[in-house]
Structure 1
Amino acid sequence: MNKKVLLFLLVVILSALLALSGCGKSAAPPTNGANGDETPQQFNLQFATFWPAVDFQVSEGHKAWAQEISDRVAAETPHTVDFTWHPGGALLGPTEIYEGVAAGAADLGSTCPLYTMGMFPLTMGLELPGYNNDNALVASLTMHEAWKLSPELQKEYEDVKVMFFWATGPGDFITNKPIRRLEDVAGQQIRAAGGSTLAIQALGGTPVPMPMSESYVALDSGIVDGILGPDDILQGFKLAEVTKFITKTPFVGYNVVFVKVMNLDTWNSLPLSVQQIIDEVNEEFVFEYGKLRTDYTIKGQQFAVEEFGHEVIELSAEEKDRWMEKIIHIPQKWVTDKEAENLPGQKLYELYLELDAQFSDMYGDYEK
């Protein structure tokens, strides 16, 4: 028997009892909270993520976002919202989070869409060479705004309630063998995700797709020689312990997208006042997550150099040109492939370019 039927029967029974007792007074409206006509409710939301609890995206990003929601809900409504955390893949593995949240195994989750290859083909368009991709703040704002403007992108996530997107920004080759020239990439097994696999192949390396959470063991055991990724992972995932070199390659097009999603039934169960607060906080935290990732990318490199003695390799302008010759074709190939699949590849690529330029002008020098 559903809740509405039970509630209706309860009202009928109570009304009958009140009539029989002669005490049928109207109940006084609740006075607590800004929305006095709402019956107070308590919500405890189960949150799954692949990031370990000590990673800044959980300890500082997710926790700050959740606390802001809890505080505002308590202050502005008669309701309470709390969160139970399941970090490090404890409840759902990295490749299970999106579909697990959609199915109701968790109320909320944060994940990388491209861990489930093929499900989000248009999202992958941000992971191409050709953008300014100055930092994580620019990349995060670009992705989130593109989703808001593109019905085609929204369709990729129609089975969940999207909270917001953010992104890594540029990535570097983090390896056990030095990469100083294009030829040094050849033959190296490089952990990759999403669109970065195309660049690694074009540069002569062998991409090895795997979740970031599996990279430590893969590097430590020699399954892979290195990783193409943002420098924050050197500290957050402890990869500084199992690598030696950082080759600066912001131009290769590495830019991994992340998304925070909520189960649709969970979302629809929340009062409108709570939904409105969550939507407001989400929009604010796109910016906060972008800044946080940018800050920790800088800190990650400093940590690896100071604590583990990593060598940072800067390629010459001539060497960068050699690399670019190998990867410059990738965006057009992606567009052509998407159009052949009846997807608006050109439209999305142009939208990404436009927003990347817009936010680069606004925040490209954020970390400088």
Structure 2
Amino acid sequence: MTRWLLILFAAACALAGCARPDPNVVTLSYATPYPPTHPFSQADRKWIDWVEAESHGRIKIAPFWGGAILSSDQSMEEVRHGVADIGLIAPIYTLGNAHAQRAQVGFYGHVGSIDEQVGVYKCLIERFPVLRDELRGLRVLAVQGGNLPGILTRSRPVHSLADLRGLRLRAPAENTGVLRVLGADPVDMPMGNVYSALAKGVIDGVVAPADTLKSLNFAEVAHHFVTLRISRGAYPARAMNEARWRSLPPDLQALLARSQAVWERALADKITGAEKKGRVFGEQQGVVFSPISPADQARFDTLYNIDSAKTAVSLSRFGIAGLPIFDEAQRLIRETPSDIAPACAPQGPANPQDPK
């Protein structure tokens, strides 16, 4: 924990009249850019409550919500440097030094459930050291999948892939290539900026799951949702500063390792539930949901995998053999029922520091 964060704690305690800290209690800070009402944060709260109860009060988690001390695009480095002991990390948004982690999210064409996303990721990180190497300095505490996005637009409905032509869409980096092929103008920006960009007409729409209609209030500024199924993968999403991890006694390390399953289950449940609530909320707010034809869905899936394979090959400029990672992800998805995790998924946390 950094010096300034300790000062912040001390100042808060002075104002609140805190007693001298109990030397038998370990206080760990947890930081996230999301507000406490967001589904991600609701899952985080379930994990916090579990850890504090399971440790019988020996661990106390001090949460910092809403980006108070952690950013969206530099969170990996911030946790590495102890800005927070534990934080929500986002390799998919980081500005550098996580090229394989960022690219592999787009290797999951035809993936089914969140459990399958997380399971495939754990298989990949076991097999490919580059994915572990990019997490040096971090102890991963949860891997996160997600609902498959569609496309939400402000005022122009989309009924076919041809309707995407000319639309300026906020999209994750792994989707920009295929959207350009279809004639759209994709841009990459943090999700926190999308509401205002939609409201002002800076963008015409966003690639996002239906849960954002409620959780991010997008139903207020966009009115058409096409249920194009856009594949996406899992990624390490909650991590602890490695030095802080090593400072803990072995029994508390073991407890936090066990907590990974709790956190991942809470995330999957909250994300899935939020999707259903978001769709109901959107319908109540007048958002029009439109299907896509099977032929257009099949064409999109084909283009998606072609573009993903190109992205995998392009990792060679960073000295990374990306195509084997893409091929293995696709093999696992082909050979695994869509509602379960691959059998190779490890039972414990996948971390770069785990002995092999």
Give the TM-score of the pair, scaled to structure 1. 0.79
The residue that corresponds to 1:156 in the other structure is 134
The Cα shift of 1:303 comes to 1.6
The aligned residue for residue 201 of structure 2 is 222
Task: Indicate if the aligned counterparts of 1:46 and 1:83 stay in contact, CA closer than 8 A.
Answer: yes
Asked if 1 retains the 8 angstrom alpha-carbon contact of 2:212 and 2:218, the reply is yes
| Deviation, structure 1 residue 326 | 4.2
The aligned amino acid for 2:231 is G
Instruction: Give me the whole-angstrom Cα distance separating, in 1, the residues matched to 2:94 and 2:334.
Output: 28
User: Residue 242 of structure 1: which of 205, 221, 231 is its match?
Assistant: 221
Say yes or no: does 1:291 pair with 2:274.
no
Q: Distance in 1 between matches of 2:97 and 2:79?
A: 15
- How far is 1:335 from its partner? 2.5
SS of the residue corresponding to residue 92 of structure 2 reads helix
Residues 1:51 and 2:34 aligned together: yes
CA contact (8 A) 2:75 2:88 kept: yes
The corresponding residue for 2:44 is: 62
Partner of 2:66: 88
User: Partners of 1:107 and 1:130 in 2: how far apart?
Assistant: 31
Partner of residue 189, structure 1: 168
User: SS in structure 2 opposite 1:47?
Assistant: strand
Matched ranges for 1:112-191 at <5 A: 112-128=90-106, 131-176=109-154, 177-191=156-170
Cα separation, 2, equivalents of 1:196 and 1:256: 15
- The 8 Å contact of residues 144 and 164 in structure 1, kept in 2 or not, is answered as no
TM-score by length of 2: 0.82
The C-alpha deviation readout for 1:188-231, integer Å capped at 9, x for no partner, is 11112231222222222112211112211111111111110122
Distance of 1:153 and 1:339 partners within structure 2: 14
Amino acid at match of 2:26: F
Q: Secondary structure at the match of 1:147?
A: helix
Structure 1 match to 2:281 = 303
- 3-state SS in 2 of match to 1:287: helix
Query: Given residue 69 of structure 1, which amino acid in structure 2 is its aligned partner?
Result: V
Q: Which runs of 5+ in 2 are unaligned?
A: 1-21, 342-356
Look up the SS of the partner of 1:127 in the other structure.
helix
Closer/same/farther in 2, CA of residues 97 and 325 from structure 1, 3 Å limit: closer
Q: Counterpart in 2 of 1:313?
A: 290
* Residue identity in the other structure for 1:246: F
**Mean Cα deviation higher: 88-97 or 346-355:** 346-355
- Separation of aligned partners in 1, 2:303 and 2:247: 51
Higher relative contact order (CA closer than 8 Å, sequence separation 6+): 2
In the other structure, the counterpart of 1:337 is: 314
Secondary structure, aligned partner of 1:114: coil
Q: Distance in 1 between matches of 2:216 and 2:112?
A: 23
Aligned to 2:89: 111
Give the drift of 1:155: 0.6
Q: Deviations over 1:143-201 (max 9, x none)?
A: 24432443221111012111121121411101112111222212211112231222222
Aligned equivalents of 1:111, 1:130: Cα separation in 2 = 20
Find the structure with the greater CA-based Rg: 1
Cα RMSD (Å) of the superposition? 2.3
DSSP 3-state at the match of 2:323: helix
Matched pairs, number = 319
Percentage of matched positions with identical amino acids = 21
Specify the SS of the correspondent of 2:166.
coil
Would the aligned equivalents of 1:48 and 1:97 in 2 still touch at CA under 8 Å?
Answer: no
Offset at residue 282 of structure 1 (A): 0.5
Where 1:164 maps in the other structure, the secondary structure is strand
Give the partner amino acid of 1:349: F
Q: Please state whether the residue corresponding to 1:190 is helix, strand or coil.
A: strand
Contact 1:146 1:355 in 2 (8 A): no
Asked whether the 8 Å contact 1:111–1:258 carries over to 2, the reply is yes
